[in-house]
A and B are shown apart, each in its own frame.
Chain A
């Protein structure tokens, strides 16, 4: 299993076609347990855990899980910490609507670049240092909020704090060194979802901290600045915990990994080419921009919206806004679960329909949210919108592993970047101008969600079909093997570099749904070097 360590795609490596999102453990015959190892959890031959025991802090596997998701959670808290305090900040800094909107765009744009760099940093320094470096070097940017005195400074600081969202990459990378590939789907999905919850928790936390500081006698314009010291310290504390309690690999730290030579590395140029020339990549980049992207945008605007539209107190608006982000606890895993269930019955077509349904429903509820005139209806619409959008995020990553085997890492990275890009674009169009009130902006965002989800109807796999069209009738093209080995040229196939793809293809036959049993043996798929 030590092929291609550290190469592009290895962070999502080992995600095969078959694990359901809720695989909590891997049974012994499938993956043999290494009985000589002395860990709290059963491990495989690489000492990666085969079991996901949620409430354990055992070193190193579960401890890594908790350190990792809490670090990611902390970065979400600080990136969106300003959002629930905007009603105070906008008066202190004399902001206009454009300034508030531009700051929201800035807060999600920084991480587009930092996530790309983070992959390389994890390859060089290991995920433990990658995470610690990012989280401790972004602590000063959080503390900078205390100095801000005008719109320009506010936008700049939110941009810099946004870089810390690249902990997503270190989080996923670190998990893949600690958990067996058959359960990595659940582990990574849970970590991502729980990290995203930080965007909700901060809407509760920051107004509470602000209120407490005000009660001690500080004026509002000073109290919000002091409140920012808390997320800053969370960064420092998590960074120190990661450095002292964490380790890169089950057996120790990164230096031992780097001693292993002779691994066949894949060429970055080729991996990028196959990612970029697959049209499905771009459809999912767009789609994720309107599931994850709108989630991030809503994290930025919803507290201020409830405060202004319904004349609520700051902490009441915060509580309502928090329920939006906190729904990630169950909504995102639910999306993955629904996708897997649909795949069992209807194969890939089921997955596509589930994604389209969840995301479109999210869009419709978003339209409703903007138009709701009474508080209870608005809260109901918001909760339904959050479930739709977040479940769609989970369902998206139920499909992404099947787009490509060779370029999985890059496609995941591009999709993630698409999420942030969609968020920035949406905030720029709808929430940075006085042309739309925030309510109208929300409704138009809902319309855009429905429109931008339509391209999923164009996704077609020759071996499995699409939402409406059946699989290809051509006997050669309608096999999983053909699809996955078409990413390798003849020369590479001669060298047997595509053998992992062939294994993946065999495992992915489950995406035919109930038709698996009737799949004929495809001709010309036996690799020539067998």
Chain B
């Protein structure tokens, strides 16, 4: 009997303390944000101990406290599953959140509602923790919906701006469509496995799992912005940069991937769903990488980069490697959050300028941000022995040597090289060259909050991959032997992408601006997907429903079918076939004469 479960529960429950304190109204003072940041750092350190115990001994725990209700044969209780996935994800998430909280102490310093902002971020973190430690689908759904709601509140933080409100609503709508899949999976499990507990589902191992896994795939498409339900993620950049760093790069959007990883015992038996996830992930990663090539807003480029990496995670699940996908989740959190924080630092220093065409020459003006941006981009593209290498290179190697769909593999490789291309684009436009911003600058990165938070994530981006990979226990054996060209594939396409992008940027730097080509327009307008899908289906369905409700029922069935059609028909035919001229007296007279003549003929005929 050790302190494993107690420490983990303590770490999770100290997170709720600042929320409780808001009931006592002690949260109105100005040191509340510092309290929140400190509490998250304490929770992180506390959660490291159970994680180290887990790494040392492989101990997994399920904590089932409180029996909530029993509905006929379904037992709902509060239960936490502390296994491989939650034990490693919780410290990583807490570490990244700690750095982001410290960063937002600097970024949101002048915001009058900074305490509310921190409360929202903390509530988001609590619901995310509920999601990853859930042992039954009901608790997972509570966390799922919780992160959706907090995402809505945080994206629309500056609610005076119309675009922010639209983006928040868009996030909710797209997530809702994904939730339909989740509820379908829950209903299927309720009917066929009589439970929402993960243990019972995996033990029963149902045979025909196509329907629930399709539902879970739809839920992951909605929450993790896969192709088809992806436009909310770039629109969500309307929120403040800490929100983008926490929600839309590290934690919330990986909830969909996490759900699929949780269900890997069911997925490894279903080849159809695996192929479906593989193709979906491949389409997503290539499409969003293409869209990222011509964007001009630095946050949108990083958002599309997130979307592309999420597609890569889904591809990894599709080749039946859930543990590699999870490793990529953890490593991706570090450098993506850091990239967002560097972009936040640049934006704030250039007085809220987000367009990369108006940045430049920051290499000498902001050396620390430059360093972390370049290291983050290198980690993202999978430079050997930085963090991203340990997950991304393994994924590409496994995909190359596995019996998989060649088209999906090709898409993934092209997307990997495009990752290098748009990373070069960010570095080239934002950092190199001569300054393109206004001369009266407010560039200042000397704040200790900013520097400490980015420094922590910087060290994480360099060493975390090595650290985590060395300490986890071996799960699925990676492919050990392969031809040398396969081993070097990821590196080759990345270097190819870098050189190509650098050459093109340098050559075309001073050329005259031409009219955009069709490919450029396709990439810049996000493949026309939002333009078409946000206008055409609503117009079609609304006009169809209006026509069927008012025109069909009222106008046609009640008015036109019998009364008006009969009168029109009579009028038309009478005009058509009448040759009369209205000489009534003549007609009557001829009738009389005919009658008289016939009478005479009949009577006087022998």
Q: Is chain B a partner of chain A in the same complex?
A: no
